[in-house]
Structure 1
Amino acid sequence: MKKFALSCITLVLSLNAYADNPLYETGPGQDSSFVRFLNAASDKASVVNGSAKVALGAQTDNRVSRFYPVKAGDKLSATVQVGNHKAAIDVVAKPGEFITIAIVNKGNGLDSLIVRESPTDFNANRASISLLNADPACTAAGLNGGAKGASVFENVATGTTQRRLVNAVKLSVQAQCNKADTGAAVDMGQLQAGERYSVIVIPSKKAQQVFFVRDSTS
């Protein structure tokens, strides 16, 4: 089975070309796990292993990679870099687990948040949305949505995520940090039945930045 050092080359090619080739062969009868990278730092970031490098932008539409399948139980190691700062990452995924590795600033250096999710909810007639809190300064994130501003999520701690099924409707949401509105309201548009979405809270110079992505796998 290929290790992460060899598979990073495949990851780079997959990200650049948006190919749907898996990073790892999981083998018959084995559950796949999935890993993606989130750049929650203040500048462009890269994930480096040997001569292979994955670039992550500093805009909302290119901060997040796709989810890539990995073999559960394998140790994945890499180095993340933002400017001149580097940090090492090691993670092992459980079977069926979805992991987001968030790169964040910490003092004059870098840190990573390993956000784990073991989804059990799927309904082809409904959409699945999550709130992922990748801001160390936001100790309790929340999300209100819909015409009446109903509470969708509450008390999502830093480095964690919550998920639920909702009707496939047009949806606009407002994030909160520590019970106060933060960031601009996010128009998620028309949600599609059977699809997964992530609303993400990251640090910014002015409190928090909030955006959403449609979760996709390669």
Structure 2
Amino acid sequence: MKKLILTCLALCTSLTAYADNSLYETGPSQDSSFVRFLNAAGDKVTITNGANKLALGAQTDNRVSRFFPVKAGDKLTASAQAGSLKTSVEVVAKPGEFITVVLVPQGSALDKLIVRESPTDFNANRASISLLNADPACAQAGLNGGAKGASVFENVAPGATQRRLVNAVKLSVQAQCGKSNAGAAVDMGQLQAGERYSVIVIPAKKAQQVFFVRDSTS
């Protein structure tokens, strides 16, 4: 087993504890890759590798970990548990790739969605936002935003994401599943130029829950 996630889990016993320095070697001529975890279950999730654990809460402000830098081509393995539901995780990142491992309940099992993104749209004068569909029951996710409710994203399949650059303004958005609103409108506040954001759709007891995070790295 590669030591891809081992150092991360040893240092991160909760989402409030992160190291600012680099945790993994990438090599002088190799692009960094990044992996984060998203809890889309109704219970807390624990991700384990041996004796090392990473805890993800069940509230919007602690469901998502930061992006951890990893060595492209190495295998990341771990096990995850939400209540009595368990699953295993195995993923390999390509150079420059951003991966979100979504842990989501499916009936009596804990499933995972591997969402891959290779962003190429950085602009220091604009903000970058994405819509990540982490709800298997939302066949076509969309996002409307701004004062006129203009379409920002359309037809985002479960386990997929779309990203685009927008002006760094105050922004409120409404997610949709098909032609119906998904969750409540989300106030993203004042977007910052050069920053990346993710609007995330997850399953809930009543349809969907929608929230956003700033895509920070450790």
**TM interval, short-chain normalised:** over 0.9
The answer to whether the aligner puts 1:41 opposite 2:26 as a matched pair is no
1:84 maps to 2:54: no
Instruction: Tell me, yes or no, if the aligned pair for 1:8 and 1:53 is still in contact at 8 Å.
Output: no
Which residue does the alignment assign to 1:148? 148
For residues 122-181 of structure 1, the C-alpha deviation after alignment (integer angstroms, 9 at most, x for no partner) is 111000000000000001000000000000000000000000000000000000001211
Aligned length in residues: 218
For 1:122, the aligned partner's letter is F
- Partner residue in 2 for 1:95: 95
Partner of 1:136: 136
Letter in 1 for 2:213: V
The one-letter code of the counterpart of 1:6 is L
Q: CA RMSD in A?
A: 1.5
Q: State the TM-score, normalized to the length of structure 2.
A: 0.96
Shift of 1:6: 3.1
Residue identity opposite 1:212 in structure 2: F
Shift of 1:15: 4.1
Q: Retained in 2: the 8 A contact 1:13–1:19?
A: no
Q: Give CA-to-partner distance per residue, 1:173-216, whole Å, 9 cap, x none.
A: 00000121110000000000000000000000000000000000
Q: Distance in 2 between matches of 1:13 and 1:158?
A: 29
1:124 and 1:147, CA in 2 relative to 1: closer, same or farther beyond 3 A? same
Alignment correspondent of 1:121:
121
Q: Post-superposition shift, 1:5?
A: 5.6
Contact 2:196 2:214 in 1 (8 A): yes
1:31 aligns with 2:27: no
The aligned residue for residue 208 of structure 1 is 208
Give 1:29 shift. 1.2
Cα distance in 2 between the residues matched to 1:114 and 1:81:
17
> 2:171 — aligned with what?
171
Aligned partners of 2:209, 2:77: CA distance in 1, in Å? 28
Q: 1:163 to 1:100 in 2, by over 3 A?
A: same
Between the two proteins, what is the percent identity of the paired residues? 79
Shift of 1:19: 2.2
Matched residue of 2:12: which SS?
A: helix
Structure 1 ranges of 4+ moved more than 2 A: 4-11, 13-19
Using structure 1 for the length normalisation, give the TM-score.
0.96
Unaligned runs of 5+ in 2: none
8 A Cα contact 1:144 1:153, kept in partner:
yes
**Partner Cα separation in structure 2 for residue 82 and residue 13 of structure 1:** 16
User: How far did residue 4 of structure 1 move?
Assistant: 2.9
The separation in 2 between residues aligned to 1:168 and 1:16, in whole angstroms, is 27
| 8 A Cα contact 2:15 2:56, kept in partner | no
CA deviation map 1:38-67 (0-9, x unaligned): 000110001111000100000000000000
